[in-house]
Structure 1
Amino acid sequence: MNLIKTVFITFFILLCISCSSGDGSKSDRLRADSLTNEVVNGKMDIAVLAKSDEFMYFNEKYFHEPADLKLIPAFDKAQIQVVTYRIYQHVSLEGNRYRFNVKKASELHIPNKAFVYYQRSFDEMNRKAAASKDSIRLELPHNYASMLINE
């Protein structure tokens, strides 16, 4: 009976770890918030944070509503800019299709939810371009990722 309990408890712990991993632990998010505050308060350049290996996330409400970077709070804006910079550093435009050259969120130190959100957005834009027989011309300005953090 002890073996069954041990296996069950081990399985439960591993399940909990796997469900929360990839979206940042509470301490990862607290550190991300602290670093974002440093950017907002002018103590750190946003480019330094964007290019770092520090975990970064942004409020999930921005997945569901349009975000005008000119109107949202500076804290949220900085987080969105860092995550989006990391994404667009690995996007190219090939044959009127966006190519996302990263396979896992952990490579970018961002949450799985953000990674999947952007990945689905690229897939949807590619699908629309293909369905229009390429009458929709996709665009990706040169140095777009850098433009995002300088906005």
Structure 2
Amino acid sequence: MNRQIIWVVITCVLVASCGGEKENGIPVVNLEALNAIPLDHRIDQLAKDTTFIDVTLPPHARIDQLTQKELGLLKAAAYRFYHHVTLENNQYRIDIKDPKTLHISEQVIKAYEQAINNTNHFADSMSKVGQNIELPAVDEEYLSKLLQ
């Protein structure tokens, strides 16, 4: 299965995983869409420094309705968070000792953690029915695209 198909599957899982939490103000976490939508401004410094990031979106917010500022904040937060995600035995593992060191609001961190958990669960459930899905590693290429 090629990488694009895998990201489409992950995107669907992530959209579904955030469906119940949108109403509580937790951001829509759609990693493929975040990666695909270009910014009209640079976020390199924000993504790499310690400025606190908090994003609260209105209920039922969709990725295509975000302002460039909101999109930039979500991408910067994703950049920080996914530096602590690895792929082991086709499962994403989060290695964050102290979430405060990310300088991201708790609700954003929880949304990304939930997205990871749902993706892992989806890969497991597909494997149990004989449909092995190879989850792609979060590599430097992916992280770099978040900065664009």
TM-score, structure 2 normalization: 0.62
AA partner of residue 71 (structure 2): K
Q: CA shift at 1:103, angstroms?
A: 4.0
Residues 46 and 103 of structure 1, relative CA distance in 2, 3 Å threshold: same
Alignment of 1:1-151 (within 5 A): 45-61=42-58, 65-68=61-64, 72-133=66-127, 135-143=132-140, 144-150=142-148
| Identical aligned residues as a percent | 27
Q: CA shift at 1:123, angstroms?
A: 0.8
Residues 114 and 103 of structure 1, relative CA distance in 2, 3 Å threshold: farther
User: Within 1, Cα distance between the matches of 2:58 and 2:80?
Assistant: 19
AA partner of residue 67 (structure 1): I
Contact 1:90 1:101 in 2 (8 A): yes
AA partner of residue 72 (structure 2): A
Q: Deviations over 1:62-104 (max 9, x none)?
A: 8x54414xx6321111111111111111111111111111144
Contact 2:79 2:143 in 1 (8 A): yes
User: Within 2, Cα distance between the matches of 1:46 and 1:79?
Assistant: 8
Contact 2:43 2:147 in 1 (8 A): yes
Root-mean-square deviation over aligned CA pairs: 2.4
Q: Deviations over 1:81-131 (max 9, x none)?
A: 111111111111111111111144312001111111111110111111112
Q: Which has the higher contact order (CA 8 A, sep 6+)?
A: 2
Runs ≥4 residues deviating over 6 A: none
Residues 82 and 93 of structure 1, relative CA distance in 2, 3 Å threshold: same
Q: CA shift at 1:51, angstroms?
A: 0.7
Structure 2 gap ranges (5+):
1-38
AA partner of residue 73 (structure 2): Q
Contact 1:58 1:83 in 2 (8 A): no
